Amino acid sequence: MSSAASATGPAMSSWAPRTLLRRLRNGDEIAHLITLICASSILLVTSMLVYQLWVNSRLPRHEFGWHFFATSVWDPVFEHFGALPFIYGTVVTSFLALLIAVPFGLGAAIFLSELAPRKLSDTFAFAIDLLAAVPSVIYGLLGIFIIVPIMRTVVEPALKKTLGFLPFFQGPAYGVGFLTAGVVLAIMIVPFIISVSREVLLVVPQDQREAAMALGATRWESTWKVVVPYARAGILGSVFLALARALGETMAVTMVIGNDPKISASFLAPGYTIAAVIANEFTEATGDLYLQSLVELGLVLFLLTFVLNGLARILIVATQQRGGPAH
């Protein structure tokens, strides 16, 4: 069968037309071509996406230039647009979310990888993976009806009483605001931190732990001072991954953040994030400069998540290579 011979032979293919037809009749070539086209369409779609974001934000880029990132005014009437309040809101809510989620997540991951018997660890990990699958709008639902009232009636007044001297906890307790958005985001990203950190901790070679214990360390000391630092690149990677997810989160945030494009020092104040303002104002931005300013915000968000995801991937791969058997 000549087709088999030409398929299994090395790259002896010539460009001559007569073999082209034979090669096309060969299932391999077609399969290769079709799968290649599909793979390339991913490149096509992604480049179209970036292109659209770039082209549809040309008005504010020319009008405001870099000032767009330094202005904190968002005024559709007088057509002054600035990205600062949204960048601030996105950064603050994500920072608060990490502040809450990382200790919980890392703690849980340590428990699951070091202490829990394998079966318990797997069951818990399964349950936590299910948490990661819960849609954002359902977190928003819980946010509005459960978390916001608790924040408004219990948590925020308590914070004001105890830490009210700090500028972070001043102002009225609305219930909605940066802090509440941070709490809801924390619940949403903690599963990512746990599952990735648990994986990288499990991969740390057993002899590291045993060596530490042989030197007289307690279980905790061996974990905290030897195992965790060994896996720190991967753990950091999981944090970046969680951060990238938090930055792009739209629905849950817009339902609990108060939707006010202002920069406030207080975490109890209402704010706005990039994703939330796009969701609220995109369908109604009358005027091209307004609409394109929103698209430019989308571009900023895209670039931020792009950089973070890239860093995360590098860190996680670095740990996996380090912790592998070849080391």
Partner 1 sequence: MSMRTAWRKTVNVVMLSLTGACALVTVSVLFFILGYLVVHGGASINWDFFTKLPKPVGETGGGMANAIVGSGKLLLVASLIGIPIGTLAGIYLAEFGGRGYSFIVRYTTDLLNGVPSIVIGIFAYSLIVLRTKQFSTLAGGFALGIMMIPISVRTTEEFLRAVPTSLREAAMALGANKWKTISTVVIPAAIQGIITGIMLDIARVAGETAPLLFTAFSNRFWSPGWNQPTASLPVVIYTYAIAPYDDWHRQAWAAGLVLLGLVLVANIGARVILARRAAFLKA
Partner 2 sequence: MKKTLALFIVTLLFPLTALVLRAKPAHVAPTRTPVPDTVLINGAGATFPNPMYSKWFDEYRKVHTDVQINYQPIGSGGGIRQIIAGTVDFGASDGPMTDEQVKQFKDARGANILHFPTVLGADVPTYNIASVKGELNFTPKALAGIYLGTIKKWNDPEIAGANKGVALPGDDIVVVHRSDGSGTSYIWTDYLSKVSEDWKNKVGKGTSVNWPVGLGGKGNEGVTGLVKQTPNSIGYVELIYAIQNNIPYGRVRNSAGVFAKANLNGVSTAAAEAAKSMPDDFRVSITDAPGKDAYPISSFTWLLIPDRIADATKKKAITDFLRWMLTDGQKDCEGLSYAKLPKEVVAKEMKAISQIQ
Contacts of partner 1 in 138-157 (CB under 8 A) = 138, 140-142, 144-146
Which is it for strands 74-75 and 80-81: parallel, antiparallel or unpaired? antiparallel
Residue 162 touching partner 1 (CB under 8 A): no
Helices (H), the chain: 2-8, 17-25, 27-55, 58-64, 84-110, 118-133, 136-142, 148-150, 156-163, 178-203, 206-214, 219-222, 228-230, 232-248, 251-256, 274-281, 288-323
Residue 54 touching partner 1 (CB under 8 A): no
Question: Any idea which residue has 């991951």 for tokens?
Answer: 109
- Interface with partner 2 by CB under 8 A: which residues? 11, 13-15, 23, 29, 32-33, 36-37, 40-41, 44, 47-48, 73-78, 148-149, 152, 172, 174-176, 254, 258-260, 270, 272, 280-281, 283-287, 290-291
What is the separation of C-alpha 244 from the centre of its chain, rounded to a whole number of angstroms? 2
**Going residue by residue from 262 to 301, which x/- string records binding to partner 1, judged by CB under 8 A?**
-------------x--xx--xx----------xx--x--x
- Partner whose footprint covers residue 127, from partner 2, partner 1, none (CB < 5 to 8 Å by kind): partner 1
DSSP string, 118-170: HHHHHHHHHHHHHHHHS-HHHHHHHIIIIIHHHIIIIIHHHHHHHHTTSGGG-
The token pair that represents 246 in the structure block: 């938090």
Q: Please identify, using beta-carbon distances, which residue of 256 and 266 lies nearer to partner 1.
A: 256
Expressed in angstroms, the distance from the first to the final Cα of the chain is 47
Q: Please identify, using beta-carbon distances, which residue of 170 and 309 lies nearer to partner 2.
A: 170
User: Given the rule CB under 8 A, which of 40-48, 151-159, 177-185, 199-207 is the region that contacts partner 1?
Assistant: 40-48
Name the minimum Å distance from CB 71 to partner 1.
22
- Partner whose footprint covers residue 13, from partner 2, partner 1, none (CB < 5 to 8 Å by kind): partner 2
Q: If we measure between CA atoms, which residue out of 135, 104, 109, 90 comes closest to residue 305?
A: 90
Contacts of partner 1 in 231-260 (CB under 8 A) = 244, 247-251, 255
Q: Please identify, using beta-carbon distances, which residue of 167 and 287 lies nearer to partner 2.
A: 287
